[in-house]
Amino acid sequence: MGVPVRYMFTLEIENFDIHDEVAVERFYEDVAEAYLSARDDLVDVTYVVEADEGDPCDAVLDAANHLGRLLPEASVTRVTLDLVSVTDIATRVGKSRSTVRSWVTGSRGPGDFPRQVATLGGGVQVWHWPEVNEWLRLNHPEVADDERGIPLWQIERINYALSSRKVETGRSVKPAAEIARWKTARKASISVHRTSELTMPDHPYTSRSLR
């Protein structure tokens, strides 16, 4: 068993009306450290959970399974990617763009800045925020988020489990954790308290999912 740490992640759901006051109230009555937000025609559910360090997959799948039972009309599609540009990083950490760019290029600081995950139109480079935050935790802990993010390779495993569950038709659907052959170590569902002790970061966790 690893050291328990706090992870933050966002699940994308479909077929859920965020203006349905009854369903929203049901969600907040049953789930502690989480919040709903709208994005285009989709709804995001951002969680903060405790999980063993380096092994958050079961906790994420537990949250997805619990959400599916709580909101049966909704469909959990995937864990979203939190993609950030140099400008986004600068805003989140309270530094100038030139400072962040010097980290990226290695002209200042320890180097080894995470590799960008994509280059968008106009040459805008984007990074996966959890990877940037891990680099900050090691090199500039004063500006890093306390909560960890889910690494890309683990997001791929989780999303594969979620998609495998969705494509099963004509027979009973197995839990995502069983499909992925991960045995859930947790003994209970997500905490069910109306009052949350969660303190969200100052910056918004707005998903910028790759299409």
**What CATH number has the domain bearing residue 32?**
3.30.70
Encoded tokens for 102: 């010097």
Q: Which of 210, 211, 206, 209 is nearest to 38 (CA)?
A: 206
Residue 33 has pLDDT above 60, yes or no: yes
The number of distinct structural domains making up the chain is: 2
**Entry pTM:** 0.74
Does residue 188 lie in a domain region?
no
Q: What are phi and psi of 95, to 5 degrees?
A: -120, 165
Residue 173 has pLDDT above 60, yes or no: no
Residues 41-81 have pLDDT tens digits of: 789 999 999 998 888 999 999 999 999 899 988 899 999 99
Q: Are residues 153 and 77 in the same domain?
A: yes
Cβ(51)–Cβ(184) below 8 Å: no
- The pLDDT mean for the chain works out to 80
State the Cα–Cα distance between residues 55 and 57, nearest whole angstrom.
6
Q: Are residues 11 and 39 in the same domain?
A: yes
Residue 165 has pLDDT above 90, yes or no: no
Identify the pLDDT of residue 40: 78
Do β-strands 42-52 and 4-14 pair in parallel, antiparallel, or remain unpaired?
antiparallel
Q: Are residues 18 and 113 in the same domain?
A: no
Q: Are residues 64 and 153 in the same domain?
A: yes
Identify the pLDDT of residue 2: 63
State the Cα–Cα distance between residues 65 and 53, nearest whole angstrom.
21
Q: Are residues 166 and 111 in the same domain?
A: no
State which residues form the domain around 139: 83-143
